[in-house]
Chains A and B, each alone.
Chain A
Amino acid sequence: MNERLHIPQTRSTPEISADWDAGVVSMSGDSYPENSFEFFTSTIDWIKQYLKQEQRPLRLELRLIYLNTSSVKAMMDIFEMLEEAHRRGRDVSVDWLYDPENERVQMLAEEFREDCSFPFNITAEAKQA
C-alpha cells in the first residue's frame, strides 16, 4: 500500500497530501480539473484503504477555495465515506479552514456539512504572512 500520497498543486488542481501515520489528509487550493473523477480516485482509494486497514482516527484538513461541479461531487463522495465510517463507530473529522476575507467559502463549507453527523469544524484562519 502506498502509505504516503502527495499530489502537487497546479493551476486547476489542489495540493493533496495524505499521511498514513498521522491519519491526516489535507487538501488546499482550487479544484477544476478536466477529469475530476480520475483526479480524485487516488485520494478516495487512499481513504478507503486507511479506513479498512486502520482503526485509528482519520482527519481531513481542507483549505479548498473554488470547486467545479464534479469536484463538489467527489468531495460529497468522500464525506459520505466518512459518514459511513462514523456510523460504524470510527473516529473521523473534518476541519475546513478558510480565509476570513472570503466568507463565501464558509457558506459553502456549511452547505457541505449539512448532512454530516461527524465532527465538521469550519474555522477562519488568519492569513500566513
Chain B
Amino acid sequence: MNTEVADRESDEAAVLEEIGALLKDPQYEGNPLRPFLQRLYQLHRRQSDRLLRLVRISDGYHGMARHNSDTLAARIEREVMRLKKIARISDLYQRQLRELADALRDASLTDPLTGLRNRRYLTDRLREEGVRAQRTRTPLCIAIVDVDHFKEVNDRYGHDIGDVVLCNVARALEGVLREYDTVGRWGGEEFLVLLPDTTLENGFKIGERIRARIAELRIEDSERPELRAISLTASMGMTVLREDEDVFDAVGRADTALRTAKHAGRNCCHTA
C-alpha cells in the first residue's frame, strides 16, 4: 500500500520533472502547444500546493480535537475519582455518627453502675409487655427486689463496697432469669423483674431462687478479708397483671407487696 503511494508520488514527480525540462528546452520554444502546457503545468503546481495546505490544516484540527478529548476524558476521570473519594470519606463519617447514635441510645437505656437496663428502659418495656400480655391473655409477672439493710453496708464498708454489692446482686439476678425475662435497676437498691408468660405460682419459685442466690453472695477480696462477712438478703414484692389493668397499677401493687415483705421482717417474698 505504502509502496504504491510512494510509486505514484515518484511517478508524479518524474512526470513533472520531465514536463519542466520540456518547457525549458529551447527547441520547443516555437511550439504552439507550449503556452498551454505551461499553464496546465502551473495550474497543477498550484492545485497540489493547495491540497497539501488543506491536508495540513485538517490534520492540525484533527490533532487538536483529539488532544482536547484526551484531556477532557482525563479531567472527568480525575473528577470522578475525587467525587468517589469524597463520598467514601463522607460515608465513613456518617457511619461514625450512626455508631455514636447507637452507643448513646444504648447508654441512655443502661444503668452505668451495674450494666443492667435502667428505669427508662424498664418503663418502655413494662408498657410493651403489658400490652402483649393483655392481647395474648398470658400472665405477666412483675416483681420488685430490694436488698435488705443496704444502707448499713454503705455506712459500714463505704459506698465503693455498696457499689460492689449492687453489681453482685445484678449478676445474681441475671444468672437466675430466663432469656425472655427482663431485669433492670429500678432505683437505689431496687431491681425490677419482668417475667412474661409466668403465673404467680411459677413467679414465686423464681423469686425464691433469686433470694437464695442473693443469700449465697460473698465478696472475695484478699486485701479485705473482713468483706467476706457481708451476708445479704433481699425482700421481694410480686404480682401478676390483671385483666384490663394498667401495667403501672400492677407495679404499684408489687411495690406495696414489697413494703409488706419489709414489715414482715424482710428476707421474704410477698405476693399480691
Contact = CB atoms under 8 A, between A and B. Distances in A.
B96 A111 contact: no
B77 to A, nearest CB: 14
A104 B89 contact: no
Contacts of A67: 89-90, 93
User: For B85, B87, B88, B89, which residue has the most chain A Cβ atoms within 10 angstroms?
Assistant: B89
A22 to B, nearest CB: 28
A122 interface: no
B92 interface: yes
A37 to B, nearest CB: 13
A69 B86 contact: yes
B266 to A, nearest CB: 44
A29 to B, nearest CB: 14
Interface in A88-129: 104, 107-108, 111-112, 114-115
Interface residues on A, range: 10 to 19
Interface string B92-111: 11001100000000000000
A68 interface: yes
Interface in A59-100: 66-69, 72-73, 76
A76 B86 contact: yes
A72 B96 contact: no
State the majority secondary structure of interface residues on B.
helix
A68 B92 CA distance: 10
A34 B90 CA distance: 16
B97 A72 contact: no
A76 B90 CA distance: 12
B92 A108 contact: yes
A68 B90 CA distance: 7
B80 to A, nearest CB: 14
B85 A104 contact: no
Contacts of B87: 69
Contacts of B88: 111
Contacts of B82: 76
A83 to B, nearest CB: 12
A111 B97 contact: no
B85 A68 contact: no
Given A69-B86, A69-B90, A111-B88, 20 more contacts: A66-B93, A66-B96, A66-B97, A67-B89, A67-B93, A69-B87, A72-B86, A72-B89, A72-B93, A76-B85, A76-B86, A104-B92, A104-B96, A108-B89, A108-B92, A108-B96, A111-B85, A111-B89, A111-B92, A112-B89
What 10 pairs across the A-B complex have the smallest Cβ distances?
A: A69-B90, A104-B96, A72-B89, A111-B89, A72-B86, A72-B90, A73-B86, A108-B92, A67-B93, A66-B93
